[in-house]
Amino acid sequence: MPWQRLLEASTRLPSGQALDDGYGAMLDRLGEVTPFELAVLGGKLAPTPGLAFLAGYQGALRLLWPSAPRSLGALCVTENRSVRPADLQTRLTGLTLDGRKDFVTAGNAADWLLVAAREEADGESPRLALAVVRNGAPGVRIEPLKPLPLMPDVPHARLHLEGAHCERLAGDGWDAYVKPFRSIEDLHVLAALGGWLYGVSRDNAWPHTLQLRLLGLLTGAAEVSRQCATSPTMHLLLAALFAEFKALKPEVDAAFAAGPTEWARLWQRDQGVLEIAGGPRAKRLEKALAALGL
């Protein structure tokens, strides 16, 4: 992680751009970066917490699939509010996908889509594959959904697949992709929001002690990013980062309350994104503690 780039003064990207245009402008500013650098430095450049989340989400996707195109992408797993393989109905037959995904982050603007699909034969236990399709290709249709109160600048969509030709990625769809992505996304989103908060702290002259604590959170995240995403150690260290952020949050809230109203409004609106996966994180921590004998 090139920490000097984070410490340097930088002009935040303008708000109100189309999602793909804003992301392209971010990449132009950043140049060649690692997935973690995309999260942190992209988060710092983002005009809103929601667009910082997008930088973290894209960084997580690129750690999951290093061959990902440079353009916006999305991981499509959820069906009827579930990601359990046995609950999924989308099917991969040969290199053809059929089914529906109900909640696709940035699906309207995504150029490529990673799709989790069942591929086991009749009578076998559920088995997932991960395949990639291009948005707008034959048999691939995106249905825009209404904006959510949380991060309304990052749209969501429903994906419809009807005989869509795809490329199957190597490995088991659950063990190699869907399962590790839970922790990868948590880490990169936390890092991106940390980068955004650090940029706001610099712009608004927050107390130096608070700025240092934000930097400490990010340096810890950099170390966690080196861990295997499915290991008990990674789950334990990730939980430690979230605990550190929770302890830091009252100071962050107080700094926002003492500053410009617009920054406080954005933070109040979008900060809940860090709590969305709290339940699954707690379960992974419990299993990690047991595995490590702690």
Sign of the dihedral through C-alpha 124, 126, 131, 133 = positive
Q: State residue 133's pLDDT score.
A: 98
Kindly list the domain boundaries of the chain, sorted by start residue. Answer: 3-64+176-292, 73-168
Q: State residue 123's pLDDT score.
A: 87
Q: State residue 149's pLDDT score.
A: 92
Alpha-carbon gap, residue 15 to 157, rounded angstroms: 21
Q: Where are the beta strands (DSSP E) in 47-127?
A: 73-76, 91-93, 96-105, 112-118
User: Diameter of the chain by CA atoms?
Assistant: 62
Alpha-carbon gap, residue 242 to 235, rounded angstroms: 11
Options 2.40.110.10, 2.40.50.140, 3.50.50.60, 3.30.1380.10; which CATH number does 73-168 get? 2.40.110.10
User: What's the token pair of residue 77?
Assistant: 């797993």
Q: State residue 9's pLDDT score.
A: 85
Residue ranges of the chain with per-residue pLDDT less than 50? none
Which stretches of the chain are DSSP H helices? Answer: 3-7, 19-30, 35-45, 49-64, 173, 179-203, 208-224, 232-257, 261-270, 278-292
Is 159:113 a contact under the CB 8 Å cutoff? yes
